[in-house]
């Protein structure tokens, strides 16, 4: 009898541990057709939170904040967004400091057993610097199945041929070191013109997905329809950034439209990541300035959008 109780206890502990650590559950991810799948060929839809620009909110780039997102917010993926420009703390002017903060989050995600998106958070092409960075990331982390590379946060006015050529160079760099982990490719017009790569996708590499970003207060049914058409043409889609207000990141939350997007993503089994872990005075920042840097956020620390997304993350 004691042996049975002991065995049951060990089994329960194992189940809880695996459930809490999606990488143990799903293992090495891969793309089959338009679907993200796990090591056993079962479809996977990751849901999680994106940190804000590292060079604007560096105080949240730590293991405590990651633990909070995993244990209390039920994130299965966390996005570390390395700002490239903007100020003296961006990667272009402070590569060493930028990489250190990124590694804080990446290392914590690996320890927590969740997937982590290494996001080159840029709106312009900086090919040489991006190649140096992703070479370093692939060398340091390519052996971990946790890792997902995001090559270009949101191309704005670049054409698809420009974005495609840039992405192919980075894919070649990463694949020379890391043959397996998922790579996310950006689309023009802030990741809304997914019809362009659908008509002319990158060829010769596996485990590529293409990013679509939306802000529900601005982007409506037309973007869902456009994305559906791209998927139907064979384009694998990953929603690596989304939120419920206007595209400025401010304004009121459009609850009705957010619910439509959420229902649509879950029905399509699309992975999605919400923006953002930051404390700016704007709607899309989930935290108030009172929030501690290392997690353990109280209810009063969490803004309306944060409370809504926390509830949304419970829906699996």
Which positions are annotated as active-site residues? Answer: 154, 241
How far is residue 276's CA from residue 242's CA, in Å, rounded to a whole number? 9
- Residues recorded for the chain: 316
Element (H, E) at 229: helix 221-232
E strands present in 11-113: 30-32, 35-37, 47-51, 77-83
How far is residue 130's CA from residue 274's CA, in Å, rounded to a whole number? 24
For the chain, how long is the longest CA-to-CA vector?
68
How far is residue 15's CA from residue 176's CA, in Å, rounded to a whole number? 36
CB atoms within 10 A of CB 154: 18
Element (H, E) at 118: strand 115-121
Measure CA 107 to chain center. 16
- The per-type count for the chain, helices as H runs and strands as E runs, is 11, 10
How far is residue 244's CA from residue 258's CA, in Å, rounded to a whole number? 5
Element (H, E) at 66: helix 63-71
């Amino acid at each position: 009898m004691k042996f049975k109780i002991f065995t049951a206890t060990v089994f329960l502990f194992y189940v809880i541990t695996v459930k809490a650590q999606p990488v143990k559950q799903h293992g090495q991810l891969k793309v089959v057709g338009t679907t993200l799948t796990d090591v056993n060929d079962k479809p996977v839809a990751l849901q999680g939170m994106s940190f804000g620009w590292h060079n604007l909110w560096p105080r949240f780039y730590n293991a405590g904040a990651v633990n909070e997102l995993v244990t209390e917010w039920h994130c299965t993926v966390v996005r570390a967004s390395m700002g490239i420009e903007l100020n003296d703390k961006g990667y272009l002017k402070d590569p060493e400091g930028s990489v250190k903060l990124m590694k804080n989050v990446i290392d914590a995600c690996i320890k927590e057993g969740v997937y982590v998106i290494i996001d080159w958070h840029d709106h312009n092409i900086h090919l040489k610097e991006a190649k140096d960075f992703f070479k370093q990331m692939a060398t340091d982390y390519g052996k971990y199945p946790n890792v997902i590379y995001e090559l270009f946060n949101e191309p704005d006015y670049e054409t698809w041929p420009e974005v495609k050529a840039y992405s192919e160079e980075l894919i070649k760099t990463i694949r020379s070191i890391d043959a397996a982990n998922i790579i996310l490719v950006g689309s023009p017009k802030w990741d809304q013109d997914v019809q362009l790569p659908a008509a002319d996708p990158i060829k010769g590499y596996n485990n590529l997905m293409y990013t679509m970003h939306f802000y529900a207060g601005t982007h409506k049914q037309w973007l869902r329809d456009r994305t559906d058409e791209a998927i139907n043409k064979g384009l694998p889609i990953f929603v690596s950034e989304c939120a419920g207000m206007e595209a400025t990141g401010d304004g009121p939350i459009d609850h009705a439209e957010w619910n439509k997007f959420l229902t649509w993503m879950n029905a399509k089994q699309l992975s999605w990541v919400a923006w953002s872990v930051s404390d700016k005075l704007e709607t899309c920042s989930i935290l108030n300035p009172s929030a501690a840097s290392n997690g353990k956020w109280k209810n009063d620390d969490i803004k309306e959008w944060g409370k809504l997304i926390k509830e949304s993350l419970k829906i699996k």
